Amino acid sequence: MHFAQAVAVAALVLSGVSDAVAVNPLPAPRSISWGKSGPLYLAPFVRYSGTRDQNLQEAWRRTFNTIVKLRWTPAVPDVPFPTFDPFPTPKAKRDDIGYRNSIGQVNVKVEDTKAKLSHGVDESYTLEIKDGSSSIDITAKTVWGALHAFTTLQQIVIADEQSGRLSVEHPVMIKDQPLYPIRGIMVDSARNFISVDKIKEQLDAMSLSKMNVLHWHLTDTQSWPIEIKKYPQMTKDAYSRRMTYTHGDVKDVIGYARARGIRVIPETDTPGHSSSGWKQIDPDLVSCANSWWSNDDWPKHTGVEPNPGQLDPAYDKTYEVIENIYGELSDLFEDEMYHIGGDELQPNCYNFSSHVTKWLAEDASRTFNDLLQSYVDRLFPALKKRNDRRLIAWEDIFTSEQMHAKKVPKDTIMQSWNKGLENLKLLTSNGFDVIVSSADFFYLDCGNGGWVTNDPRYNIMENPDSKTPNFNYLGDGGSWCAPYKTWQRIYDYDFTDGLNDEEKKHILGGISPLWSEQVDDVIISSKFWPRAAALAELFWSGNKDDKGQKRTTQMSNRILNFREYLVANGVGAAPLQPRYCLQHPHHCDLFLNQTAIV
């Protein structure tokens, strides 16, 4: 211990100041070490110095303004467990500590300001406040790493409870970088429309939790909200003229996201989940659009939810139209990846197509799998030729028992949502790169009951003591993927279990989908947040500590605090527990044993 530290410690002992301001940001950094020299105060203005870059300097202005505006105090007190002390000693004033210095500068050094916001770009950073320093030192390989340093910093600078002055515990050294290159959420803007403002609110929360991919499920059977200049008639199938996105809106979202280090990957779902929009161009593009979806007569069902509709793989014009839309949107969205959908194809739907019926009749050996194979073989190379992007598809295109292609180009990224670990193994062992979206863990829309109407299953008068409560069809809570996925369910998912080292390399990251059948602007933020933050940390620094012990119990304090921080930042995140629990850390744990989760 050198002299300065000794003085500081002495001052701390005299004034009874604890190191309670050493708050832990979310996601937990890969490495963070706090000294105990006590808080340093922030000067009224903290000057940016170092690497000149417009994006960075704007981000710093935003960060500093937020720090000053919020004057944040952690919501969860940092107290040891168990305390059960009804009259905790009030914290001492921090005014009379040894340091007079205040922080007046942030030094940012970025090696490569030209690095594009692209898949696998270096997102590492270091953040250091040296003992007694008057500056915060940030280094990063790229702008995108430095942005993460800012969102860490804004969570560890807090307002002193008594004086209200902004301070940060120090010295502190943080070395940080993500475990996985894809960490994101999926917004569905087709089942219900989501406004640009609400999408930006999600981007705010994503940047605070260091997520870097917005997967935008733009279209589905129910509506077509995205403007296509080549086919302006498609937005006749938006819910209203206002419930559309112009190219300008998209650029606005992309710019807002990029400023926060977030890529926007568009998805136009094809060939399944396709009716609205397409049928305005040519009704023959869409099979079974006018059928009854037949969930009540399952052998005949044409869709898994109303309204049915699938693009016709046996109709030549289908390819021309998909290619044109892909060309226009992949230009507009710019990202190196493009999601072509590919989920939940229903063979019965194609019985309504004269083109398919004819195609099948031409050769008695042809099956529905062959039909999808012909689609993949024709479409994928054509898209690549048109506008070279890495294609993402829902895994169904390869794994579905109902209809799948046997051969899918190996550079296709598979987004896995079925059968948890089993499908992750299947896909990675087949050499595919995979995005983890396992429904049993990551689907944020589950557990709201069924949303289809005219449902007699609700009209059953059961004895409340019955072992089969009447709301219990199709799993607890009455939706196909019930129950509701809690943040703990998300955080505890050991998605690489059972994978060998080679297979593990194929996991690119995770995306939490929120299908919007029962979601619109009113509740989208409370559905995503703070639960998505559990996924953010899972893919940033993992769910285990240095010793390999699951740290869900510690995460509970972080996520409770982070929820309050989101709300302070204008994100309508849902409460997770009675406020009592965040004011009394761990008093609401199920087990007294703090290592009960292994």
Cβ proximity to ligand NAG: between 300 and 579 the closer is 300
Task: Give the nearest distance from C-beta 302 to ligand NAG in angstroms.
Answer: 8
Query: Which of 189/353 has CB closer to ligand NAG?
Result: 353
Q: Looking at 57, 134, 351, 554, which residue binds ligand NAG (CB under 6 A)?
A: 351
Cβ proximity to ligand NAG, 161 vs 589, nearer residue: 589
| Residue 167 per-residue DSSP state | E
Strands 434-436 and 507-514: parallel
- Stretch 250-289: interaction string toward ligand NAG, x if CB under 6 A: ----------------------------------------
Task: Indicate the Cα dihedral angle 377, 382, 384, 387, nearest 10°.
Answer: -160
Note whether 598 binds ligand NAG by CB under 6 A: yes
The answer for residues whose C-beta is within 8 angstroms of residue 33's C-beta and 6 or more apart is 172, 173, 174
- Least Cα distance to 16 among 119, 94, 120, 127 occurs for 94
The residues pairing with 158 across neighbouring beta strands, listed in sequence order, are 167
- Residue with token string 């070279």: 388
If DSSP codes are grouped into helix, strand and coil, which group holds residue 343? coil
The CB-of-319 to ligand NAG minimum distance in angstroms stands at 23
DSSP state of 468: S
Please identify which residue in the block is written with the tokens 């949303």.
451
Among 300, 406, 504, 505, binds ligand NAG (CB under 6 A): 300
Rounded distance between C-alpha atoms, residue 412 and residue 409, angstroms = 6
Residue whose C-alpha is closest to residue 226's, from 199, 261, 260: 199
| Closer to ligand NAG by Cβ: residue 348 or 423 | 348
- At its nearest, how many Å lie between ligand NAG and the CB of residue 10? 37
| C-alpha 556, offset from chain centre | 19
Do the beta carbons of residue 534 and residue 491 sit within 8 Å?
Answer: yes
Place of tokens 């040296």: 130
Work out whether 365 is an interface residue with ligand NAG (CB under 6 A). no
> Closest separation between CB of residue 293 and ligand NAG, Å?
12
Q: How far is the CB of 412 from ligand NAG (least distance, A)?
A: 27
549 in contact with ligand NAG (CB under 6 A): no
415 touches ligand NAG by CB under 6 A: no
Q: Does 463 bind ligand NAG (CB under 6 A)?
A: no
Residues 568-597 binding ligand NAG (CB under 6 A) are: 593, 595-596
The count of residues interacting with ligand NAG (CB under 6 A) is: 7
Q: What is Dmax (Cα atoms) for the chain?
A: 91
Between 66 and 348, name the residue whose CB sits nearer to ligand NAG: 348
- Give, in order, the Cα–Cα distances in Å from 19 to each of 1, 43, 78, 87, 90: 17, 21, 9, 20, 14
Least CB distance from residue 395 to ligand NAG, whole Å? 24
Q: What are the residue numbers of the active site? A: 344
Q: How far apart, in whole angstroms, are the C-alpha atoms of residue 596 and residue 563?
A: 24
Q: Which lies closer to ligand NAG via its Cβ, residue 1 or residue 590?
A: 590
Nearest 5°: phi and psi at 435?
Answer: -105, 125
Nearest to 181 by CA among 114, 105, 262: 262
Work out whether strand 413-416 and strand 213-219 pair parallel, antiparallel, or are unpaired. Answer: unpaired
Nearer to ligand NAG, 162 or 357 (CB): 357
User: How near is the Cβ of 593 to ligand NAG at its closest, in Å?
Assistant: 4
Beta carbon nearer to ligand NAG, 461 or 590: 590
348 binds ligand NAG (CB under 6 A): yes
The one-character DSSP state at 504 is H
Minimum CB separation from ligand NAG for residue 350, in Å? 7
Indicate whether 358 belongs to the interface with ligand NAG (CB under 6 A).
no
284 Ramachandran zone, left/alpha/beta (phi>0; psi -120 to 50): alpha
Distance CA 266, CA 250 (A): 10
Q: Which residues bind ligand NAG (CB under 6 A)?
A: 300, 348, 351, 593, 595-596, 598
